[in-house]
Amino acid sequence: MNKEQFLKAILNVLKEAGRWIVISLIPVVLAYLETISAEWAGILIVILRVLDKFIHELGKETENEKLITGLTRF
């Protein structure tokens, strides 16, 4: 593995972590404000992540650049 491949792998990991942070931000804030319970926040995070992945895969299959980015847009 050369340096370029290593940096690309690190970038992909950081993007994935960023996606999880963006997706979980709203449910965690809602749980903090006691608008929803922590259980529902966890369920909402999972639903949003599955929806994000579905939109991403649909975009790849249809070659739609706007859908490839999913909900998080990166």
Domain ranges of the chain: 37-74
What would the two tokens of residue 33 be?
């404000």
pLDDT tens sequence across 22-36: 999 999 999 999 999
Pair 31, 37: CB distance under 8 Å? yes
pLDDT tens, position by position, 35-52:
999 999 999 999 999 999
C-alpha R_g of the chain: 15
In 3-65 the beta strands, taken as DSSP E runs, fall at: none
How many percent of the chain have pLDDT more than 70?
100
What pTM was estimated for this model as a whole?
0.79
